[in-house]
Structure 1
């Protein structure tokens, strides 16, 4: 090639730099996402260890897990003539933010339900110690809490209840233990599906919390009922519809006008949930 037609070396270097810089920035961003997923996914609120819960018949309990101690609230139905009267246990796994104090909002509903309620705070939430490190650890903590509480309710009804983030944890637990009912409120297909919809440029291999509810639901033999608000902008109802397509036996109850954080305030939701629990 004549020298007059050769690409100058400085221009070739510029081309290389223009190709490398975006690649380096993208790799750096993926590395940051890999390390910061707990901060992006979880928004715990810490409670003082002397914070008092004043709801009647509600006790604070602890679950020891490797490297941490998890705090929980346990509502037990009151004694009648000195005898305990409860239909069973609702094992409640809450969403990705707050703590049991912010999620224990429907106390009157649960007190009237005739069921005991056990609500767990994850690592770093409320009074729980430790830090969430990976998805396997989350599932293991949930299982340890279940094994601690379940023997108390032998021969009674077992309801696994998940809300928002907790729906994936509840579904996974229901593949491993017996339950009479699995209730999923505002469920997602998977965290991976949600991330892909919002950030299509992020490869799935970077996600350390894929939470594949869509893979677990078909493995569950117990009755499954899902509640979802048709105005939910955070986890659209299409997620619940996709889950129902994967598990035809699952029932989906659509709550008109409900969003993501206010579904518990809708009478259609509380009335349907009450009838469901009464039917067991």
Structure 2
């Protein structure tokens, strides 16, 4: 072997080794990001356990194109007595399983929806070990297709809270049979959330693998969009929700709930929600669930940390 060929061979080997190291590093980084962002758990927030009692269990099975295997998604179903009730797919945020969202699911039920809430793979009783952005998108689409098959004549809506808002927005951008999209306490992208941190000036954008580019997706949504946020949300700042709203096409509504935290906005803003649903989606008021906006939140709605004073409620186009 000549000196030139040896040098070329060593250079090629160096490139291969460097590339392999980078790929290995990216794989580790991706796994860590999935853990950090989703924080998957089979546990339920203790304040929500009672609210999940009495909900019907459902199982959604489908062939995953991403994992080339049979996937099994666990769901909770909260039906309405009226056969013509609108149906809502509920997509939860990070950390806890779907049972922890039972209080919020019941509030949406009180507003007139039949509600199906799912656990992504890696959460609760669903199959899989670790969620990812793409897997969560696939799970949401499978649940949507299941709802369409089970309730083909119903008006079907998509709702997402926090991280679930980004998943809901992606789903709404992919389907043409959604009657509306409701996003609460969400954000334009993970990169935008990171930019609000103390060290958010660091150029970490290119290293983010779980990007959740909700602002890009919401621009392609053809259904009416309601974006709600609590003015005292310390986890996802209200301005991030407003930025997401600005990217949505008309018709749309922005609902800023005075004093709402990341956890209780739909509770203390219940009447504002009802008005927005009626105005934007044409959903009527259920006479047996009218409640005062001054009603104190239940113990399920108590935020995990104190909230600060905030500006007044804004309900605008």
Calculate the TM-score normalised by the size of structure 1. 0.78
Q: Over the residues paired in the alignment, what is the CA RMSD in angstroms?
A: 2.7
Aligned equivalent of 1:25: none
| Deviation for aligned residue 1:114 | 3.1
Count residues in correspondence. 244
Further displaced range: 209-218 or 240-249: 240-249
Aligned ranges for residues 17-56 of structure 1 at < 5 Å?
A: 33-46=29-42, 55-56=53-54
The answer to whether the Cα contact below 8 Å between 1:196 and 1:202 also exists between their aligned partners in 2 is no
Deviations 1:133-152 (A, max 9, x none): 53222211211111112122
Q: Show the 5 A alignment for 1:14-163.
A: 33-46=29-42, 55-56=53-54, 58-65=55-62, 66=64, 67=69, 68-78=71-81, 85-106=83-104, 108-163=106-161
Q: Is the contact between residue 139 and residue 173 of structure 1 (CA under 8 Å) also seen in structure 2?
A: yes
Unmatched tracts of structure 2, length 5 or more: 1-23, 284-317
Task: Output one character per residue of 1:206-262: Cα deviation in whole Å (capped at 9) or x when no partner.
Answer: 211110111011111211011101111111011122123223523111100111122
The CA deviation at 1:31 is 7.4
Distance in 2 (CA, whole Å) between partners of 1:89 and 1:242 is 27
The answer on 1:247 being equivalent to 2:244 is: no
Which protein shows a greater Rg?
1
Q: Normalising by structure 2, what TM-score?
A: 0.69
Q: Distance in 1 between matches of 2:52 and 2:170?
A: 32
Structure 1 residues 108, 263: closer, same or farther in 2, change over 3 A?
same
Asked whether the equivalents of residues 120 and 131 of structure 2 are also in contact (C-alpha less than 8 Å), the reply is no
Relative to structure 1, the CA distance from residue 264 to residue 114 in structure 2 (aligned partners, 3 Å threshold; closer, same or farther) is closer
Aligned counterparts of 1:276 and 1:86: Cα–Cα separation in 2:
20
Q: Is the 8 A contact 2:76 2:117 kept in 1?
A: yes
